[in-house]
Every structure is written in C-alpha cells, then in structure tokens.
Amino acid sequence: MSKRFKGKTCAYCAMPGASGTGDHVVCRAFFPVEDRDNLPQVPACDRCNGTKSELEHYLTSLMPFGGQHQNAHRALAEMVPARLEKNHKLRAALAMGLKQRFVSFNGSPWQMAGTLPVDGEKLTQYLGLIVRGLAYYHWGFACDAQNYFVKATYLTEKGSAIFERLMSLDASARVVRDLGHGVFHYSGIRSNGHPELTFWRMSLCGAEVAATDGDKRMQTRFSHGFTVPKSIPAAEKFMSLF
C-alpha cells in the first residue's frame, strides 16, 4: 500500500493523523478481478479498517446472492464459493436461508433470484461507513461523532419520497458513479447552504432488500444515506425522521 495514505485523517472516524493505510471505500472483493482497478480509496486508521473488514467478510459472501446486475452470477460462480469454504458457519446459514424464486424487474424477462436473510444492522452499518468514505473521497471532509450525524438506511416508500425531494434540492456539487457495471451504483449531492450536508442514494450488488413497514411489505434495491453537521439548527429534528 502506498505511503500517500499514511498519517492522514481517518476518513471514517475523523481522527487526525491516525491513518495507517488506504482502504477501498467499497471492498474490492465485491468486484470481478478486471473491475478492481481505480476504485475509490481513502485513508483509514487500523481500528476502522478492522471493523470495516469484518463487515466486508460477511457481506461479500452474502450480497452477490441477492444481486440482479450482470456480474452477479459471475460473482456467485467465481468468487463466493472460495470465500464460503473458509467460513463454514456462514455457509450453513446461507444454505438454510436461500430460496429461489422467479422475478421480473421493470418488465425485464423473468429470471431466478435469490432471497436471503440479511443482517440489516451489519448492512446499514457498512453503508454508513461507505457514506463517510464517499464524502471524504469526493469532497474532502471526515465526520467525527461529536460534530456530525451520519446514517444510511433502507427507507419506506414515504421516507424515500422525502429523501428524493432532498436529492433534487439546489446543490453545490453532484456526483453519479457506477462502479463495476452495477456492482455499486451511487449518486450524491452536496447542499448549497451547508457544504458538509450531503445526501446519497446507493445500490450494492443490485440486491433487493425486503423490509416490512407495519402491515406493508416493501422491497427496494436503494438505500439512502446522509452526513448532517450537528451545527445545522434542524439537524436533530431531521435525524428523528429517519
């Protein structure tokens, strides 16, 4: 790993000078080998790197099973089995949870898709770290716990609608990227009035996540995330919505 990431502010916990290494914001193992170059990297401290690696070990074994994008089946065939070999406990859980069903997305031909129980807490914790990494990578700031709220989550229809309105607000900068042909797709905006107020829409492996909202069952492939400086007067109220 190159020296350029040593001794910098950790992109995840914002500890100054704490980074020992560079970290791929979205883990390389999600991507087929030929798509692993030029993925976003940020400085990370050993602690954050360790926490993130644990989540990645779990999610890179799991998420490709739920994927709809063109690389999902290759990921399944080429990358997942070797990783599962090394983790018998996880493999047993997956074998029990995997159900195949036919689905159609936006009128596309019917195809087999897997449904898996995902540890939602781990998934949203990971997406929260990705939001921190992307904010640092694109716009150069890191969020410490004292001064920022950072969260990523899967929202209900109503929550998504609120969020989509926020994403169409006047922005000082926007970014839209597709990494690895659909493996990780994201867009983000930076608020005009508050440059460290950012909103993100992400999809990981094109996997659909099912959730219940009261009696309503919903399914979505998009998660939403944000960084909110606590100095903004409505910050706390905003956070209580999500």
Residues that bind Zn ion (CB under 5 A): 10, 12-13, 45, 48
CB of 144 to Zn ion, least distance (A): 10
CB of 152 to Zn ion, least distance (A): 17
Nearer to Zn ion, 126 or 163 (CB): 126
In the complex with Zn ion, the residue whose CB is nearer, 12 or 148, is 12
CB of 54 to Zn ion, least distance (A): 14
State in angstroms the smallest separation of the CB of 158 from Zn ion. Answer: 34
Nearer to Zn ion among residue 13 and residue 63 (C-beta)? 13
Beta carbon nearer to Zn ion, 18 or 189: 18
Contacts of 171 (CB under 8 A, 6+ apart): 189, 190, 191, 192
The DSSP H or E segment spanning 226 is strand 223-229
* Euclidean distance between CA atoms 96 and 84, whole angstroms: 14
The smaller minimum CB distance to Zn ion, of residues 12 and 154, is found at: 12
Q: What secondary structure letter does DSSP report for 34? A: G
Measured N-to-C along each axis, helices 120-139 and 46-62 cross at an angle, to the nearest 10 degrees, of: 120
**Measured from the CB of residue 12, what is the shortest distance to Zn ion in angstroms?**
5
SS3 assignment for 52-104: HHHHHHHHHHHHHHHCCCCCHHHHHHHHHHHHHHCCHHHHHHHHHHCEEEEEC
